[in-house]
């Protein structure tokens, strides 16, 4: 792939552009905020402005609610031969793209599974996606060449392409990304009720579990709202577990003797053990930066 246009020069778009420039790909940077594009260009991410001729691939790296409109605009302008996006929600985005008349034969949904709580081009990094999954969600009518170009993009960024359906993707990210962010925010919000003397005792553990809460409010309102049903399902199950733990701890706190709370203590230990086991299921992330793999992962059924 010789040339790419990145539409949207925030954290994700600029990180993609930096990775591509590091692999010698001519990269154009387009943003509704020209200063953001110039900032990204100043970091070495590419050329601020549109190409004179269609590039091989355009990456729509804008929040979910703007993807369809941006895709439609740039397809009409013949910005690229093929298109992908980088939004973290796929089903509703593709439905909107179809509704507004986008050419889905030349578009494949994409989601690089890398990020930071900071936003904007200055937070970008060329190795943000090294060793990370990069999900592709082609529609039935998507051309094979379009999917291949998107796979090539992921590999050039050091990521691992994973092909799945839109629904499976949205269910998966609700579990591994969207609900964790919301839970982090809910916990961090409780700190508003704490005394400053109490917060002065905070250690690294609290910083770790609330790190995600530092993300962009505007962006995450869009993400969570767009994937609301799938997140609600996960959060409902989580809230059931929380309610059970409240009951367990109330029992432990009122038991006159330790032996009278043995059942509740066992229940508490069981939850902690399940947490250890669940955390152990998270795959290790390869960040060795050794060049792109040619292995394509296809996920049949639930992710």
What is the band of 117 on the pLDDT scale with cuts at 50, 70, 90? Answer: confident
Angstrom distance (rounded) from CA 25 to CA 4: 7
Res 283: pLDDT: 85
299 against 87, higher pLDDT? 87
Each residue of 2-60: pLDDT tens digit?
A: 999 999 999 999 999 999 999 999 999 999 999 999 999 999 999 999 999 999 999 99
pLDDT of residue 285: 65
> Would you state the pLDDT for residue 260?
67
**Comparing 42-56, 89-103, 110-124, 203-217, which segment has the lowest mean pLDDT?**
110-124
CA distance 230 to 235: 9
What is the pLDDT at residue 44?
Answer: 97
- Residues 30, 215: Cα–Cα separation, whole Å: 23
User: Cβ-count burial of 42 within 10 angstroms (0-12 exposed, 13-18 middle, 19+ buried)?
Assistant: exposed
pLDDT for residue 119: 82
Confidence class for position 278, pLDDT limits 50, 70, 90: very high
For position 254, what pLDDT does the model report?
87
**pLDDT of amino acid 293:** 37
With contact defined as beta carbons under 8 Å apart, do 146 and 108 qualify? Answer: yes
Does 252 have pLDDT greater than 50? yes
Task: Identify the band that residue 261 occupies on the pLDDT scale cut at 50, 70 and 90.
Answer: confident
Residue-level pLDDT at 291: 37
pLDDT value of position 301: 35
Average pLDDT, stretch 82-98? 95
pLDDT at 173 over 70: yes
The predicted structure's pLDDT at residue 297: 43
SS3 call for 10: coil
Closest CA to 61 of 3, 109, 6: 6
Task: Tell me the average pLDDT across 67-94.
Answer: 97
Measured CA to CA, the distance from residue 147 to residue 149 in angstroms comes to 5
Neighbour-count burial for 21-32, b at 16+ CB within 10 Å, e otherwise:
beeebbbbbbbe
Degrees, nearest 5: CA angle 163-124-131: 40
pLDDT in tens, 122-168: 999 999 999 999 999 999 999 999 999 999 999 999 999 999 999 99
Place of tokens 């980088």: 86
pLDDT exceeds 70 at position 79:
yes
């Amino acid at each position: 792939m010789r040339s790419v246009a990145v539409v949207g020069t925030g954290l994700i778009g600029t990180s993609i552009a930096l990775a591509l420039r590091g692999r010698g790909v001519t990269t154009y940077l387009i943003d509704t905020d020209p200063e953001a594009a110039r900032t990204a260009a100043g970091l070495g991410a590419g050329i601020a402005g549109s190409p004179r001729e269609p590039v091989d691939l355009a990456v729509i790296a804008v929040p979910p609610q703007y993807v369809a409109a941006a895709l439609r605009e740039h397809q009409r302008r013949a910005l690229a031969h093929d298109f992908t996006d980088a939004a973290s929600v796929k089903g509703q985005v593709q439905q909107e793209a179809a509704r507004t008349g986008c050419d889905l034969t030349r578009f494949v949904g994409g989601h690089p599974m890398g990020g930071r709580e900071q936003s904007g081009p200055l937070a970008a990094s060329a190795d943000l996606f090294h060793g990370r999954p990069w999900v592709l969600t082609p529609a039935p009518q998507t051309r094979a060449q379009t999917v291949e170009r998107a796979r090539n993009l992921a590999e050039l960024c050091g990521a691992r392409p994973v092909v799945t359906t839109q629904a499976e993707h949205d269910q998966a990210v609700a579990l591994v990304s969207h609900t964790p962010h919301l839970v982090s925010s809910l916990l961090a919000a409780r700190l508003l009720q704490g005394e400053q003397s109490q917060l002065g005792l905070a250690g690294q553990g609290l910083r770790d579990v609330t790190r995600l809460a530092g993300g962009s409010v505007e962006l995450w309102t869009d993400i969570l709202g767009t994937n609301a049903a799938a997140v609600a399902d996960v959060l409902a199950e989580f809230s059931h577990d929380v309610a059970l733990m409240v009951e367990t701890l109330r029992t432990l706190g009122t038991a006159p003797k330790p032996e009278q709370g043995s059942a509740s203590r066992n229940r508490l230990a069981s939850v902690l053990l399940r947490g250890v086991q669940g955390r152990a299921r998270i795959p290790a992330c390869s960040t060795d930066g050794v060049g792109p793999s040619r292995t394509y992962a296809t996920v049949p059924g639930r992710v």
